[in-house]
Chains A and B, each alone.
Chain A
Amino acid sequence: MDLSSINPLLLIATMIAASMPIFFAAIGELVAEKSGVLNLGVEGMMIIGAVCGFVAAVETGSPIAGVFAAMLAGAALSLLFGLLTQLLHANQVATGLALTLFGLGLSALIGQSYAGIKPPSFPQIGFGTLSELPVIGALLFGYDALVYASAVLVVAVWWFLGRSRGGLALRAVGENQDAAHALGYRVVAIRMGAIVFGGACAGVGGAYLSLLRVPQWTEGATAGAGWIALALVVFSSWKPFRVVLGAFLFGGVTLLQLNLQAVGAEINPVYLSMAPYLVTIVALAAISGTGRGAHLGAPGSLGKPFHASG
């Protein structure tokens, strides 16, 4: 095995790119969960985002249009989830699963004539000579626009949740829905907003996959990324910056196993392909076991149905 063929700088840069799909999906889900909604349909919203983004990008020739289409598609699917769980009081777990099953089927249907096509390539942001700087150039100035957008997004989410009035209302609704309702907050409206934000983010995560990460459309392209994003929200104890860290580590595991397979490591490739899922399980058990994740971080009303009966 020749590990020296792995370039560390390039590795970090690609790890960041590899972490993007789960980052976007997880940060959106974090906001939804903070409002007390457990949407297990992340995988479905991601794959719909992936296919709609891909189709829109191919048809219009503009990857930016693709990202917006993905955002809309993810939001539309999440709106369906919101409608069912918030207005019709359907079980959140079951509805989330339905979203994923439906999303997987619908995406295959939409994408059936798009397999094997190459999408238009994503524009790199030009930093001029900055990107030619040694080390720093590759580390800071060599990414696509969505990577920079993700940095803005995480700061925005952190500020909104922790520092703004709207975020306070959202957290209040998530922590104690009945108290928030009694204070006059509109529980259902706030949750709808959070759900749609989560859907839009998951859509972008999906588009990142199909337009940038692996620029092509294949059925079932997300391969569990949405579920890993859900787990990530738990590890991060519902804290935005930890989502970044977690996504980076998981992007790293995924990438490392691909790299090790490529350099012909003497580990059975089967075990390497399992690694991201096994690591997720172990991390989930470790974080939940300490009592920090599942108990202290979880919003109090997470997953509980709300019906204003008073």
Chain B
Amino acid sequence: MIRLERRRRQSRAWALATPVLAVCATVATGMVMFALLGKDPVEAIRTIFWAPLFDPNLASYARPQILVKAAPLVLIAIGLSLGFRANIWNIGAEGQYIMGAIAGGATALALYPLDAWWIFPLMITAGIAGGVAWAMVPALLKIRFNANEILVSLMLVYVAEQLLASVSIGLLRNPDGIGFPGSRNLQHYESAANSELITGTGIHTGVIAAIAVALMVHALLRLHRLGFQIRLAGLSARSAAHSGANPKRLTAICLAAGGGLAGLAGIFELAGPAGQLTIDFNVGYGFTAIIVAFLGRLNPLGIVLAGLLMALTYIGGEMAQFMLNLPAAAIQAFQGMLLFFLLSMDFLSRFRIAFGTARIN
């Protein structure tokens, strides 16, 4: 008889192998999906995964773009992963990302056209503060009223989207924009612009920040008491409480970290690649980052790799869109599928397929 048997401890080898297996399974299923859409599946996969990296005509454009897309995904996913580890489910990063951009953007626009070195750091701080403030709403409601943070943080995404729509055609609209919606373009405001540090590489301050944050969080989880408490809270809330962790404090910290990093990603994106606040400024990084966090196994260094891979599917997806006429939604479904395969294969690391009757432990 075939049975599932719970492993006494998670299998390390399987934990590393499952993301790879999940990617393979997604590629296989994706090929079926692309074939059903009437596209050559091999050509589609080649365009998505190979062309952005190695195609001689495209790579020079695509490689920097991968870093540009990966930076916000990695920043947000690392913030979320802290909460996910502790069973605190902030899924409103999209809203915190928007609020970071609005807060930081408003700061910069208020100072326009002043030229000073401190504008950029101030703007970044305001961006973080905007994200933290937005994440504190679910945190406080959870702490004070025990309201479900999943629902509250998600509801606030819709509220933030409305605010974004409002400020980009109202309060923060470009006064010199001859009636066009959207704010001034920060790329043209030197003191606030988050421009490429090395031309042609796509590396902007946000990319550096993403790497720095990954290393810092990696150290925090391994070396600091707080990291231990976060990991413990996810395994057993009661043990964490006995070890002296304050669950309310953990809730606040995890949500603040998620919100702050999402806000940081938002302001880097606004001051750099996006340039201006418009009604469609947010493109779903906050949600895709959830997939990135799981794909990276909630591990900061894993998340960096996962973010790069996910950015590759974005850029490859865009290329497939105009080269093969593959619909944009196909890539979204493809990314969703990846999360499914990951979650379903995860059981291999926690269970063992056993034959014969149960052993008595």
Q: What is A's interface to B at a CB cutoff of 8 Å?
A: 40, 80, 83-84, 88-91, 93-95, 97-98, 101-109, 112, 219, 223-224, 227-228, 230-231, 234, 268, 270, 273-274, 277-278, 280-281, 284-286, 288-289, 291, 294-295, 307, 309
Contact = CB atoms under 8 A, between A and B. Distances in A.
Question: What is the size category of the interface that chain B forms with chain A?
Answer: 35 or more
The residue in A106, A223, A228, A295 that gathers the most chain B C-beta atoms within 10 A of its C-beta is A106
Nearest to B336: A102
A95 B337 CA distance: 11
Contact of A285 (B145, B150, B290): B145
Given A97-B290, A288-B147, A90 B141 contact: no
B203 to A, nearest CB: 29
B55 to A, nearest CB: 25
A291 B331 CA distance: 43
A154 B3 CA distance: 39
Top 6 nearest A-B pairs (CB, nearest first) are: A102-B336, A105-B332, A108-B329, A289-B145, A105-B333, A270-B166
20 contacts: A40-B150, A80-B340, A90-B346, A93-B89, A93-B150, A94-B339, A94-B343, A95-B340, A97-B290, A98-B336, A98-B340, A101-B339, A105-B332, A108-B332, A112-B329, A280-B155, A281-B156, A288-B145, A289-B147, A307-B4
The residue in B147, B159, B165, B332 that gathers the most chain A C-beta atoms within 10 A of its C-beta is B147
B148 A288 contact: yes
B140 to A, nearest CB: 9
B12 interface: no
A234 B148 CA distance: 9
Contacts of B226: none
Query: Binding site of A, secondary structure by majority: helix, strand, loop or mixed?
Result: helix
B155 A270 contact: no
Interface of B: 4, 6, 37, 84, 89, 91, 137, 141, 144-148, 150-152, 154-156, 158-159, 162-163, 165-166, 287, 290-291, 294, 327-337, 339-340, 343-344, 346-347, 350-351
Contact of A309 (B6, B137, B144, B155): B6
Given A106-B336, A227-B151, A288-B148, A274 B158 contact: yes
Nearest to A113: B327
B162 A273 contact: yes
B322 to A, nearest CB: 16
Given A84-B340, A88-B347, A224-B155, 9 more contacts: A84-B344, A89-B4, A101-B287, A103-B336, A105-B331, A106-B333, A227-B151, A277-B156, A284-B141
A97 B336 CA distance: 9
B79 to A, nearest CB: 16
Contacts of A281: 137, 141, 147, 151-152, 155-156
B6 A270 contact: no
B164 to A, nearest CB: 10
Contacts of B162: 270, 273-274
